[in-house]
Amino acid sequence: MNFVLNGQFFVVDRPSGGFRHRDLCRLPYVTRMSSSLVAYDDSDSEAEVEKTEAPDASSRGTSLLSSGNHVQSFAPDSLGTKAVYEMHHTENTGSSGLGMVCEGLPEHYSLNNNTDLTSPYCRRARPSHAALCMTYRNYEQASGSSVNSGISSQKRIHKDNVTPVKGIRPYIPKRLRQENSSMYKEQEANQGENPNCDVKLGRSGEQTVTKVSELIKPYLGSKYRSTEVPQNLVFHMSKHSGPVNEIQWCPVREQSHMLLSASMDKTIKVWDAVDAGCCLKTYSCHSCAVRAAQWSSCGRRILSGGFDSMLHLSDVETGKQIFSSQNEFRISTLKFYPTDSNIFICGGFSPEVKAWDIRNLKVIRVYKAAVQQTLDMLFLPEGKEFLTSTDAVSRDSADRTIIAWDFQSAAKISNQIFHERYTCPSLTLHPRESVFAAQTNGNYVALFSSQRPYRINKKKRYEGHKVEGFAVGCEFSPDGTLVVTGSSDGKVFFYNYHTGRVIRTLSAHREACVSATFHPVLPSLLATCDWAGEIKIWQ
């Protein structure tokens, strides 16, 4: 018989029995070999076979090494292989036959009594670490025989080191790739168009923007109550470093704790003007004074325009620019279309008023008039018509001071609405009746019908405050019972809508009060702003 001892091959000619079983087991690192094998396979230099080899073994040797319910492992660290090769003993549910798997071989090679030891997959390993490898001649026959004989086969366990492979990327669906690419292009375009855009968060953080105020919740399910004249100062906010041109409450009732302000200091701010009285966000997208800013109907976007001739539509949460365009003139007024927030009109230091569509980033209509500047604009109910207030005033005539337009055809409906020689810096619509009011530089508020032919009410006007060249705004209370307006001397005037009499005068500011607006949900809550950059909340 032949055997290997300490890395040397021995041939023993002992016809009288050879070694006994216990003698063989005492020999270290001994692998018995069949007498039919006289030499090793010399095909070790093949490219597809590793240099390490495992010695062949007969079925008798297999029974010796695998006797008992145990698992033999032939994966010492000295082999230097990446994978761990184990030999598992499976339960024998049938008669004879041992279920042993030799790791590192194909799955259809397993150890069985009917083993072809001449298979090239059976190689000898290093002499100090032996591995038994057997193979089936036919996988289909073997699998069928193992099923018939009741022997359960076991798959090899291959424990590779999980390491990322360079150059391989995970699969991303086409839809997600398109969305990501469009998002990246939009971000790059926004960064390229607005390199100076800066969004600063207030102390309250992001959550304050989307919260619902506890003070507003009780009023969400009920109608607006009657408005009373506010008397007490609630908040005094003075973060703006320049005059505040315009303020507006968020139109979404659940988010109406937010107040929007546009200032000559080139910034737009969003305030928590109900609970905390602090600044939530600051948007610095303009390079010159911001003259006009408007909430969208959904409360998620802010449209702004200024003296830098730029139009910006900003996302309230992130501050990113959804829409940006360089206009041909300085902008002084903006208005969203009443039923579609994708369309807006803008006017300013130009005889033209333009209507934009955000979806295709184009001007869809142009309204031309023989004027030099548009001061304010107002959509009438249903949005089919709108009004523009201009600076067209002369000694002999005041036509074209207020012009009515057809929105779809861009045709003039009327330009003989207001005949007095005063400009109107502000227009506002009554919430319940078919009338609108115009603030005039004659130190009074005039009342007009919002239906054709837009006649003026000569019997009723609201006077007593001062304008004196400031763009002082006026507004109705949500229930339509009061008319509120600022004054160039810093006061706020409250008029009875039906009688035109002054109900109360509030000394609100030291500088000219240019805007005063009631809260849309909370009764008798008023916000005012002045030419010194201060914003105050009254109740």
Query: What is the pLDDT, as a whole number, of residue 35?
Result: 41
**Residue 129: its pLDDT value, please?**
41
Among 112, 114, 113, 135, CA closest to 54: 135
pLDDT at 153 over 50: no
What pLDDT score does 9 carry?
55
Instruction: Determine the CATH number of domain 425-539.
Output: 2.130.10.10
Using the predicted structure, report yes or no on whether residue 3 has a pLDDT greater than 60.
Answer: no
**All residues at 6 or more sequence positions from 295 whose CB lies less than 8 Å from its CB, including other chains:** 248, 250, 251, 260, 301, 302
Question: Please, what is the Cα angle at 434 between 385 and 469, to 5 degrees?
Answer: 75
- Cβ neighbours of 10 (radius 10 Å): 11
Q: In the structure, what pLDDT confidence band is assigned to residue 221 with cuts at 50, 70 and 90?
A: confident
Nearest-angstrom CA–CA distance, 475 and 427: 8
Q: What is the mean pLDDT of residues 381-408?
A: 85
The alpha carbon dihedral of 470, 471, 477, 480 has a sign of positive
Phi, psi of 115 (to 5 degrees): -120, 135
Q: By mean pLDDT, which of 79-83, 219-223, 284-288, 298-302 is the weakest? A: 79-83
Of 18-22, 121-125, 389-393, which has the strongest mean pLDDT? 389-393
pLDDT band per the 50, 70, 90 thresholds, residue 45:
very low
For 472-523, write each residue's pLDDT tens digit: 999 999 999 999 999 999 999 999 999 999 999 999 999 999 999 999 999 9
> pLDDT band at 394, cuts 50/70/90?
low
pLDDT number for residue 293: 96
Q: Is the dihedral of CA 432, 436, 440, 446 positive or negative?
A: negative
Could you count the other beta carbons within 10 Å of the beta carbon of residue 281? 23
Per-residue pLDDT at 112:
43
Is residue 234 pLDDT above 60, yes or no? yes
pLDDT for the residue numbered 315: 92
4 or 170, which is more confident? 170
Convert the pLDDT of each residue in 286-308 to its tens digit: 999 999 999 999 999 999 999 99
pLDDT > 50? residue 253: yes
At 331, list the tokens.
């902008």
pLDDT band at 400 (very low <50, low <70, confident <90, very high): confident
181 and 172 Cβ atoms separated by less than 8 Å = no
User: Does residue 110 surpass a pLDDT of 80?
Assistant: no
Buried b (16+ CB within 10 A) or exposed e, 406-442: ebeeeeebebebbeeebbbbbbbbeeeeebbbbbbbe
- Residue-wise pLDDT for 403-442, tens only, equals 999 999 999 999 889 988 889 999 999 999 999 999 999 9
DSSP classification of residue 441: T
Q: How far apart are CA 430 and CA 425, in angstroms?
A: 17
Per the prediction, the chain carries an average pLDDT of: 74
464-474 per-position pLDDT tens digit? 999 988 999 99
Average pLDDT, integer, range 75-100: 41
State the sign of the Cα–Cα–Cα–Cα dihedral 50, 56, 59, 65.
negative
Token couple for 11:
């041939």
What is the pTM for the complete model shown?
A: 0.63
What pLDDT shows up at residue 5?
57
Residues 273-284: tens digit of each pLDDT: 999 999 999 999
Q: In this predicted structure, what is the pLDDT of residue 333?
A: 95
Distance CA 48, CA 31 (A): 25
Could you tell me the residue ranges of all domains in the chain?
A: 1-163, 425-539
**Residues facing 294 on adjacent strands:** 303
- What percentage of the chain reaches a pLDDT higher than 70? 61
d(CA 262, CA 305): 9
Condensed to tens digits (0 to 9), the pLDDT of residues 317-369 reads 988 889 899 889 999 999 999 999 899 999 999 999 999 999 888 999 999 98
Asked if the model's pLDDT at residue 385 lies above 70, the reply is: yes
